Amino acid sequence: MEYRRLGRTGVSVSELCLGAMMFGDWGTKDHDESVRVIHRALDAGINFIDTADVYSGGESEVIVGKALAGGRRDDVVLASKAHMPMGEDLNQRGNSRRWIVREVENSLRRLGTDWIDLYQIHRYDPDTDIDETLGALTDLVRAGKVRYLGHSTWPVSAIVEAQWTARERCRERFVCEQPPYNMLVRAIEADALPTCARHGMGVIPYSPLAGGWLTGRYRKGTESEGPFSAARRRLANRFDLSLPDNQRKLQAVERLAELAEQAGMTLIEMAIAFVLRHPAVTSAIIGPRTMDHLESQLSAADIELPDDVLDRIDEIVPPGLTINPAENGWVSPALQPAARRR
């Protein structure tokens, strides 16, 4: 396992980050089994774990806390997030000072820790002043409850505005972005990745396996098989094979799977190695649900993709292209049908 600096910080993280979204009700409901998967990842050299308050309604954080109890917490760079709804109350979500200050306490309690190494704002909120968000986060850093700040799936304009605001208002700056990125979802190559590199930010992409599309599960003749997890059912537009965009994804997966076989690696290994190969990427977030899933993904850290394989991948899915735009993760409210000027 190799380790890379997280942006311009002095912190080194493993090139594979263990994503904890599938631990709990959304995936593996057995807490003991989830803890065993986490311990195996740590034993394999992973020192970076990413979770969020919203994952299984906080259950994921509880499981991670159990896994790190008993002396393993100090050796782990622990990341969590806030923003998504955690209740029916309209103030139990978003990027306001009121919610961030409250929710970080809830995450600390669930995780069983006194501090979170990387606290991330899960999505951009154009209705909340970035300075309000950064002000609350800066206070948490200075109080010792949070070490570093990040965000996930932010548009490039907001990434730049946040960096400017931190400089002009003497706030703590965001040190990394967590975007969707894989061989089928490449929009961030056009602007987000170069922008993060210019500002010295780390990049920790999620979904390097495209939600299972790049595991070999979705192939011609087997694409209708289930069952589907609760998390996947909530994202039906990414998996509904009656949609033309998803049919195009299926065609691309067939070609990518053939390429992986010709290159002497699994599709999973090629997919994760592809993400890690980009010079702006710090760590790829893997999200195993079972021990077998984890084992199949750990080997990707040993794969070096040669240039000719990268060239073939670019022929199948051109750089900067996301086959199904729904997978880019954030759409400006100004582009929603109700807001378009006609």
Active-site residue set: 55
Describe the strand order of the beta sheet including 116-121 as a list of residue ranges.
202-203, 174-178, 146-152, 116-121, 77-82, 48-50, 16-19, 284-286
Do the beta carbons of residue 268 and residue 297 sit within 8 Å? yes
Q: Which long-range contacts (CB under 8 A, 24 or more apart) does 236-244 make?
A: 237/324, 237/326, 238/211, 238/324, 238/326, 238/327, 239/211, 243/324
CA distance 81 to 165: 21
According to DSSP, residue 173 is labeled P
Whether omega before 208 lies within 30 degrees of 0, making that bond cis, reads: no
CA distance 146 to 79: 10
CA distance 63 to 242: 36
CA distance 134 to 139: 9
